[in-house]
Amino acid sequence: MESSVSAIVGHVSQNKLVTDKQQAYHEGHFTELLLVHLSEIWKTAIDTNKVVAVAFDDLRKAFGWVSHAILLHKLTSQLGIQGNLLSWLTNYLTDRTHFSVVNGLHSTVLNVTCGILQGSVLGPALFALYSNDIPSALASGSVFLYADDTTVYCIGVTADNTVTLSEINSWCLEHSNTSFCKVRSYAIDEKTAHWATKFCVY
């Protein structure tokens, strides 16, 4: 499985198919570096009398709602994965079932059409590719991702990231029929940094 992950990462890296906004699962990229990078951007804006609106979004059960059909479509149409590697990934993701057993009684067997294992070697890489097009789905604001944590910010004389959050939420609904949650939003200027609201979008 590790060789398959290496093949996927090598393919998308060599062909520069992964967004530079996704900081996880890249060699030499750490949360500390992303924090420093964003802090410098925001500090520069504040020093020039701009306002920064920032929202930290935690995708709800991110690895669990990945659609197998959408993922396979992205792997072929957006990332150009084909041949034996695609066949192996298709076999890995499809024709899975699950059921529960309680006191010796079996539930109905259901097909598994979404979800990837978070603790697996392959799971994090597949999730990064699945969410690779989030930045291109935004017409406003800026975004950086670290695995399933998303940081959205807008900079201006007055700043409001409501539109950008709605765009991310639309992406989530289109790709998983769910919205994100645990959004913490801040507005920061040269005089104050104040807590806005914790909320769920849609």
Q: What single string gives the DSSP state of each residue in the chain?
A: -HHHHHHHHHHHHHTT-S-TTB-TTSTT--HHHHHHHHHHHHHHHHHTT-EEEEEEEE-TTGGGG-BHHHHHHHHHHTT---HHHHHHHHHHHSSEEE--EETTEE---EEE-B---TTSSHHHHHHHHHTTTTGGG-SSSEEEEETTEEEEEEEESS---HHHHHHHHHHHHHHHS---EEEEEEEE-SS-EEEEEEE---
> Global pTM?
0.77
pLDDT by position in tens, the chain (length 202): 667 777 887 888 788 888 888 887 666 777 888 889 999 998 898 888 888 888 887 766 678 888 999 999 999 999 999 999 899 999 988 888 989 999 999 999 999 888 887 777 788 888 888 988 989 988 888 899 887 788 888 888 876 777 887 888 788 888 876 655 555 666 666 555 544 444 444 3
